[in-house]
């Protein structure tokens, strides 16, 4: 057992009903239930979902203790129904697979691959791709004339962002009016609902006979993902040329062909599994970024003064004759503060993907709680992003909280207090790419387009629960800037 100090205590928590456990007490938005349980039991408590105990970690201290100071202890993924369906239909993967030697090789390869294509000297390629997609998005909305139009941005934003990943992965993109892809991306919310923390069907598999809708839709979405994306993958594989590193797929094939087969055998992982990393990167890469971008648009139309301040800063620093690029970022403190506040306030991923303990552990630091191996662990990122101790008025949207007192610079120490990408061994592996994409989309959109609320009274920060959360449907009035 790791991190033991004295006699460890059991994790406290509410009593539950037979069979259902604490399910009747759980709010649709799990973070609300957690806030009241934290008041009663502290940062670390136990709930029972069906027949399984779930330990919930809340607040920076408990989360850091577990994920950063005891990284291996909490790096597992539980065996959940939705994760199993993913493995059965799509195949072995990084996101829903527990910590193991094979998983480590898989994750490392994915990190190296992503860095090779989207960071360092390749950042200019990312810039070109996003700038191109922004132009396409704007012309799809405005038809390139100055008349005001009203649009629901959700599906086109998803499609646009998914084009970035498609292009890195296999050098292709789709027209923004491609109905097949629009149908597919509009289903992605079902994926998020099924894999979010606390989906009861995950904990009581028999429940699927009673409330089978979500699971059925989720599994049928996985089948369409496999059919649609899988056919591109197979097409692309047929055209592979020995040694090519032209795009992510070719790079993965070439890298895995060069790996020592013995090493892979010992780690119980195959070349085919490693090559299927593209499913992880595409799925994880477009959903979160497009949801964040939609939140950014919602904040821009809800708070016109914020949009004006960002536009004024862009004009001052970038001017009107060229497009904003990543080089400009350090000179755009207000824009950076807006993006940090967008990720904090919207809390796009309110709970990480569920974790599990990899062995019997004692949560150290001030806690000293005994947690048996293979216990499901929910990590409540919302409790960090909306902590009353950490942030004054956490429910208010206020980019200035990330600026220094004279508002001249970004206060990086404040940004470091946020945790939009999780922490430790399972931290998001696309965080840099995600941040860069968001910066480029938001700056290039605001630089060229004026956004307004279509119906101010109907704007709401409410959302559906899920692994990632996006705003409820909303419309914006927009026009190309003439000034
Ligand atoms: C604003 C954008 C993004 C946000 C807010 C975000 C957030 C997160 C969070 C909170 C997790 C869960 C960490 C955990 O389970 O402890 C995660 C996992 C992951 N993310 Fe992201 N993400 C974003 C963009 C991306 C992008 C662009 C990619 C790749 C192209 C990506 C790939 C992944 C993968 C593969 C995992 C699973 C890691 C693992 O299980 O080891 N994400 N992300």
Name the CA dihedral angle for 115, 117, 120, 125, rounded to a multiple of 10 degrees: -150
* Residues 190/214, Cβ–Cβ less than 8 Å: yes
What's the mean per-residue pLDDT of the chain? 90
**pLDDT category of residue 174 using cuts at 50, 70 and 90:** confident
Distance of CA 227 to the CA centre of its chain: 23
92-125 confidence digits (pLDDT tens)? 999 999 999 999 999 999 999 999 999 888 889 9
The pLDDT score that the predictor gives to residue 11 is 97
Confirm or reject: Cβ of 284 under 6 Å from ligand 1: yes
Query: What is the band of 30 on the pLDDT scale with cuts at 50, 70, 90?
Result: confident
Which residue's CA lies nearest to atom 11 of ligand 1? 428
Three-state SS at 38: helix
Helix axes 277-302, 431-448, angle to 10 degrees: 40
Residue 405: pLDDT above 70?
Answer: yes
Kindly indicate the confidence band of residue 430, based on its pLDDT and cuts at 50, 70 and 90. Answer: very high
Q: How confident is the model at residue 454 (pLDDT cuts 50, 70, 90)?
A: very high
DSSP strand pairing (361-363 vs 369-371):
antiparallel
| Model confidence at 229: pLDDT above 60 | yes
Q: What was the pLDDT predicted at 210?
A: 46
The whole-number average pLDDT for the span 396-402 is 98
Token couple for 176 = 């923004």
pLDDT of amino acid 290: 94
Is the CB of 78 inside a 6 Å radius of any atom of ligand 1? no
Which amino acids are annotated as binding site for heme, given as ranges? 428
Q: Largest alpha-carbon pair distance within the chain?
A: 71
Residue 172 banded pLDDT, cuts 50, 70, 90: confident
The rounded Å distance from CA 459 to ligand 1 centre is 28
pLDDT of residue 6 exceeding 90:
no
Closest ligand 1 atom to Cα of 437: 27
Band the pLDDT of 3: cuts 50, 70, 90: low
Of residues 6 and 315, more confidently modeled = 315
**Tokens at 288, concatenated:** 């979160």
pLDDT digits (tens, 9 = 90+) for 373-383: 999 999 999 99
What pLDDT, on a 0 to 100 scale, did the predictor assign at position 50?
82
Question: 431 CA distance to ligand 1 centroid (A)?
Answer: 7
Report whether residue 107 contacts ligand 1, using a CB cutoff of 6 Å: yes
169-176: list long-range contacts, CB under 8 Å, 24+ apart.
169/247, 169/248, 169/249, 169/278, 169/281, 169/282, 170/232, 170/233, 170/236, 170/247, 170/248, 170/249, 170/278, 171/246, 171/247, 172/232, 173/133, 176/136, 176/137, 176/140
Q: Which helix (H) or strand (E) is 56 found in, with range?
A: strand 52-58
* 200 class by beta-carbon count within 10 Å (0-12 exposed, 13-18 middle, 19+ buried): middle
Ligand 1 in reach of 289 Cβ (< 6 A):
yes
Listed range (190-194, 316-320, 358-362) with the worst mean pLDDT: 190-194
- Token look-up 């069907």 returns 201
Q: How far apart are CA 79 and CA 87, in angstroms?
A: 11
What pLDDT score was predicted for residue 199?
64
pLDDT of residue 10: 96
Closest CA to 334 of 324, 349, 323, 322: 324
From residue 260, alpha-carbon distances to 106, 267, 349 in Å are 14, 11, 37
Nearest to 127 by CA among 74, 164, 173: 164
Q: Output the six-digit token pair for 366.
A: 């001030």
Per DSSP, helices labelled H in 239-332 are: 248-257, 261-266, 271-275, 277-302, 304-318
DSSP one-letter code for 362:
E
- Let me know the angle formed at the C-alpha of 141 by 137 and 143, rounded to the nearest 5 degrees: 105
pLDDT value, residue 209: 47
Helices (H), ranges, 65-142: 81-89, 101-118, 123-142
pLDDT at 185 over 90: no
Give the nearest ligand 1 atom to 433 CA: 27
Report the range of poorest mean pLDDT among 12-21, 111-120, 199-208, 474-483: 199-208
Alpha-carbon Rg of the chain, whole angstroms?
23
Using CA atoms, how far apart are residues 157 and 176, in angstroms rounded to an integer? 9
103 or 220: whose pLDDT is higher? Answer: 103
Which tens digit of pLDDT belongs to each residue from 271-295? 888 888 999 999 888 889 999 999 9
Structure tokens at 131: 């700038």
Tell me how far the alpha carbon of residue 85 lies from the centroid of ligand 1, in angstroms: 20
Question: Residue 332 Cα, ligand 1 centroid: separation in angstroms?
Answer: 25
Q: How far is the CA of 349 from the centre of ligand 1 (A)?
A: 9
In the predicted model, is pLDDT for residue 470 greater than 60?
yes
CA of 428 to the centre of ligand 1 (A): 3
Q: Which pLDDT does position 178 carry in this prediction?
A: 81
| pLDDT at residue 388, rounded to an integer | 94
Mean pLDDT of 156-180: 89
Beta carbon of 273 within 6 Å of any ligand 1 atom: no
The residue with greater pLDDT, 19 or 176, is 176
Spell out the long-range contacts of 405-414 with Cβ–Cβ below 8 A and sequence spacing 24 or more.
Answer: 407/333, 407/334, 408/333, 409/333, 410/333, 410/336, 410/337, 410/340, 414/340
Name the percent of the chain lying above pLDDT 70: 92
422 Cβ inside 6 Å of ligand 1: yes
352 lines ligand 1 (CB under 6 A): yes
Ligand 1 lined by 142 (C-beta under 6 Å): no
Compute the average pLDDT of residues 390-409.
Answer: 96
Is any atom of ligand 1 closer than 6 Å to the C-beta of 344? Answer: no
């Amino acid at each position: 057992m790791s991190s033991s100090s004295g006699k460890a205590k059991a994790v406290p928590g509410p009593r539950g009903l037979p069979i259902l456990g604490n399910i009747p007490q759980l709010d649709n938005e799990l973070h609300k239930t957690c806030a009241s349980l934290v008041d009663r039991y502290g940062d670390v408590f136990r709930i029972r979902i069906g027949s399984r105990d779930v330990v919930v970690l809340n607040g920076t201290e408990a989360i850091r203790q577990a994920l950063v100071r005891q990284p291996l202890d909490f790096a597992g993924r539980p065996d959940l129904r939705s994760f199993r369906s993913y493995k059965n239909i799509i195949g072995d993967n990084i996101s829903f697979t527990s910590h193991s030697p094979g998983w480590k090789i898989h994750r490392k390869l994915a990190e190296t691959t992503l860095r090779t294509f989207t960071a360092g000297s390749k950042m200019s390629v990312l810039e070109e791709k996003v700038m191109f997609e922004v132009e396409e998005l704007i012309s799809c909305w405005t038809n390139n004339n100055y008349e005001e139009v009203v649009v629901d941005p959700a599906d086109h934003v998803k499609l646009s962002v998914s084009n970035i990943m498609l292009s890195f992965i296999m050098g292709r993109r789709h027209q923004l009016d491609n109905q097949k892809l629009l149908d597919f991306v509009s289903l992605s919310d079902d994926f998020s609902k099924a894999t979010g923390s606390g989906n009861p069907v995950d904990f009581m598999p028999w429940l699927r006979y009673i409330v089978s809708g979500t699971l059925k839709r989720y599994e049928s979405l996985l089948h369409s993902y496999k059919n649609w994306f899988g056919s591109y993958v197979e097409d692309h594989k047929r055209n592979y040329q020995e040694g090519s590193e032209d795009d992510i797929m070719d790079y993965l094939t070439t890298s895995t062909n060069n790996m020592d087969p013995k090493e892979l055998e010992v780690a119980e992982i195959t070349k085919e599994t490693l090559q299927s990393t593209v499913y992880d990167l595409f799925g994880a890469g477009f959903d979160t970024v497009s949801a964040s971008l939609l939140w950014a648009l919602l904040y821009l139309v809800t708070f016109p003064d914020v949009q004006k301040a960002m536009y004024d800063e862009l004009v001052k620093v970038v001017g009107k004759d060229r497009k904003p690029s990543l080089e400009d970022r350090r000179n755009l403190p207000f824009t950076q503060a807006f993006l940090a506040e967008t990720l904090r306030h919207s809390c796009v991923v309110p709970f990480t993907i569920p974790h599990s303990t990899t062995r019997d552990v004692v949560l150290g630091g001030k806690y000293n709680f005994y947690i048996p191996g293979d216990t499901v662990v929910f990590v409540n990122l919302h409790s960090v992003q909306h902590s009353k101790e950490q942030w004054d008025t956490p429910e208010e949207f206020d980019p200035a909280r990330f600026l220094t007192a004279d508002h001249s610079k970004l206060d990086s120490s404040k940004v470091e207090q946020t945790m939009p990408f999780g922490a430790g061994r399972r931290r998001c592996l696309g965080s840099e790419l995600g941040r860069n994409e968001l910066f480029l989309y938001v700056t290039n959109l605001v630089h060229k387009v004026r956004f307004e609320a279509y119906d101010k009274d109907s704007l709401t920060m409410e959302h559906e629960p899920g692994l990632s959360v996006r705003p409820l449907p909303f419309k914006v009035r927009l026009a190309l800037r003439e000034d």
